[in-house]
Chains A and B, each alone.
Chain A
Amino acid sequence: MAKPRKTSPRTPSSPQAAKPEIMSGAAVVLRALKDQGVEVVFGYPGGAVLPIYDEIFKQNAIRHILVRHEQAAVHAAEGYARSTGKVGCVLVTSGPGATNAVTGLTDALMDSIPIVCLTGQVATHLIGNDAFQEADTTGITRPCTKHNYLVKDAEKLAEVMHEAFYVARSGRPGPVVVDLPKDIQFADCPYTNAKDQEPKSYRPQVKGDDSAIEKAVELIAKAKRPVFYGGGGLINAGPKASKLFGELVRKTGYPATLTLMGLGAYPASDKQFLGMLGMHGTYEANLAMHDCDVMICIGARFDDRVTGSLAGFSPKSKKIHVDIDPSSINKNVVVDVPIVGDAATVLEQMLAVWKAKSYKPDEKAIASWWRQIDGWRSRKCLAFKPGSKEIKPQQAIQRLFEKTRDMDCYITTEVGQHQMWAAQYFGFDEPNRWMTSGGLGTMGYGFPSAMGVQIAHPDALVVDISGEASFMMNMQELSTMRQYNLPVKAFIINNQWMGMVRQWQELIHGKRYSESYSEALPDFVKLAEAFGGVGLRATKASELDDVIDEMIASPHPVIADILVTKEENCFPMIPSGRAHNEMILSPSDQEQQTITDKGMALV
């Protein structure tokens, strides 16, 4: 087994190269973080990272947030990254520290969130010996990271640290693990600021192919029933991408829909916005997708939640797909004009071509397309009857939205019915305001994620729209909130069910509600108080507004326990295995729609 080489100061090989400073591996780690502009690290100490914690102790440039569980550290870093556009940074120990981080890493991979996760590792000579708190971290995290490194050579530490940040943020962003054996953290390592050095093998294509773009813009200009379909790639490409997307959508006057991950990339309040699409998307968005003749997909990946049955997916359309990741193209749906590139850059190129060729949309056709869409809109698929006594879950979220509309507000969610209702009833007019676990669907994501958002935006209102079951998955972070006085609000849509599980059991499993009841719930008000926060509860409609007001006004962490109608289902819904034009809009539709055997096997 290779021993880490102790390096002694030596003369640089070329006269131009700066003489590297020699410092301990742990100091190199901190220095690299600083040079990468990292302001905050979410972490949890342990034996294998003590030298790094010792360095953290000695400095003030980087703030460390001590979480209560490593999974929460990664979700917090995700919230931080998603709301700022920066790389989120995590520090955990070897063995259980690393394995606890795996869910967060997988979540970040699925949603393309840039994370650098530093994991401690046993000393290099012990690797493979089943040492105490040893786990094959690079082996375990290989399929759940964009890339990972095991640093066995002290000389390469600085380079690996900088490359990790480059890989995490470049191209399609994602999580990167750097596994740091304890002896490397002690070893003398040379430090050079290799911040701008790109690895030779990884150079994602940023600019789109000109001829493909011309072809795409021509197709867009000639469309009669077009629809823009934007996704999380618009958010990842920075606020500029959303701005350019808005510009193109307005210039053309075409309708636009967004995926769950893309919400905020186009203002929800704009009349050209059709709402979210997909399994719980709006009637108008899904039918527009189904009936369109030109689909312009930017930074979305034709996920199964979006497409429904692939056989029935938008059968009549020519499809343009812009994605920075070539492997997203033609993966699920075959497209006519693939364009590999960064969303912002490609949109800029598209707008330039639109202007240069002075294209004009086919106004007559577009007007008639809008008439058809308005017909679908008039179904008012998101309408619900607010309860006079009981609080409807939709009503709770709608009131929260109305009361926070003009505030500097960030929303995170957990996973389930409340997540879909939040996506449907909370309108986002800006990118980076909405943090949710889309790809992996991780219950327990929202609360720690909100913590990361609050760290990044100390003066903003940060609300985790939660369910009572999801909340219990990472509620230990209440203690972190208290420690750092983070006034995160947990807005629990409490229906005493794992609502989405219950809904599927109702629709598919003959109302046999197997293990989906939230039995033995804690008193959330007392729970908040036990952790030094504020607990509030609304049990009837008349109390809702007051509780929301009080929650918003509180300078402390708050749990607002909103007791809602228990058996409410989330509509509209495309049953699994069905196409966009086979939506269930209401409980009465549900009786007629049966789910096929094939659909039952899908999740």
Chain B
Amino acid sequence: MISTNQPSARHTIAVLVANEPGVLARVIGLFSGRGYNIESLTVSEVDEVNARSRITIVTSGTPMVIEQIKAQLARLVPIYDVHDLTMEGPHVGREMALVKIRNAGEKRIEALRIADTFRARAIDSTLESFVFELTGDTGKIDAFIDLMISLGEVEVSRTGVVAIARGEHVQMPLVRKAKSTRRKTKKAAED
């Protein structure tokens, strides 16, 4: 049972919402208005036919606060579904970061070596800088950035966490319009 004095923990919540104007403002307004944390938030459309988007929110709070967040989200009118991925079982969460580092000499070589260990790819380079692309869980990206900071001037752009439950169950199925009505997408990139 929930009690008032349990410690705060980080939760990843997936929310299926109507893809309509203002819906993100409702979600964000709920968090700010009620004083909840947002560590990261990502959103994109997943259902073209019924116009639904999936929002992934990483938040932290005591079990009582997390329960409140989920109940408050669920009662918003344009919200269809709320899943606490952290509570409901194993899930995978990843984020991507673009990390620019400006340095020279030995430190530049060291940055490349570390990037290699982290399986980060250099996607831009000048004589004084690299931009690395790195995917992983939050901890891995934090660790990479920590190392980079000691090697030069760093600029970071992160996507925030996207997450999905492990296993064969499809919680929020992707629905697409019939091919003819869809915009032609470019052929999938090399990876």
Contacts and interface: CB of A to CB of B under 8 A. Distances in A.
B191 to A, nearest CB: 36
Contacts, number: 50
B64 A330 contact: yes
Interface string A481-508: 0000000000000000000000000000
Contacts of A310: 4
Interface stretch (B20-28, B94-102, B124-132): B20-28
Given A143-B33, A327-B72, A334-B64, A138 B22 contact: yes
B166 interface: no
A334 B76 CA distance: 23
18 contacts: A139-B25, A142-B25, A142-B26, A142-B29, A143-B29, A143-B33, A146-B77, A147-B76, A200-B80, A201-B18, A201-B78, A201-B79, A325-B71, A326-B71, A327-B68, A329-B71, A334-B2, A334-B4
Given A139-B25, A334-B4, A167 B77 contact: yes
Contacts of A199: 77
Interface string A327-359: 101110010100000000000000000000000
Interface in A113-163: 138-139, 142-143, 146-147, 150
A331 B80 contact: no
Interface residue range, chain A: 20 to 34
Interface string A186-211: 00000000000001111010000000
A354 B1 CA distance: 26
A172 B29 CA distance: 20
Tell me the dominant secondary structure on chain A's binding face: loop
Most buried by A among B3, B22, B67, B77: B77
B103 to A, nearest CB: 44
Nearest to B52: A201
B68 A331 contact: yes
A319 to B, nearest CB: 12
Nearest to B50: A200
A150 B29 CA distance: 17
B74 interface: yes
B4 A202 contact: no
Contacts of B67: 330
B21 to A, nearest CB: 7
B91 interface: no
Nearest to A328: B71
Contacts of A146: 77
Interface residue range, chain B: 20 to 34
Contact of A327 (B4, B75, B78): B75
A38 B103 CA distance: 71
B21 A330 contact: no
Nearest to B21: A150
A143 B22 CA distance: 12
B2 A330 contact: yes
Interface string A389-424: 000000000000000000000000000000000000
Given A138-B22, A142-B25, A330 B77 contact: no
Interface in B1-38: 1-4, 18, 21-22, 25-26, 29, 33
Contacts of B1: 334, 336
B61 to A, nearest CB: 13
B78 A334 contact: no
B77 to A, nearest CB: 4
Nearest to A167: B77
Contacts of B78: 147, 201
Interface string A204-246: 1000000000000000000000000000000000000000000
Contact of A147 (B2, B25, B64, B77): B77
Nearest to A201: B80
Interface in A261-318: 310
B68 A202 contact: no
A7 to B, nearest CB: 20
A112 to B, nearest CB: 12
A329 B77 CA distance: 19
A150 B25 CA distance: 14
A15 B57 CA distance: 44
A325 B25 contact: no
Nearest to B22: A138
Interface in B31-72: 33, 50, 64, 67-68, 71-72
Contacts of A139: 25
A222 to B, nearest CB: 19
A336 B2 CA distance: 9
B150 to A, nearest CB: 44
B16 to A, nearest CB: 9
A143 B26 CA distance: 8
A201 B47 CA distance: 14
A171 B77 CA distance: 11
Contacts of A336: 1
Given A201-B18, A201-B79, A310-B4, 6 more contacts: A147-B76, A172-B75, A201-B77, A327-B74, A330-B2, A331-B68
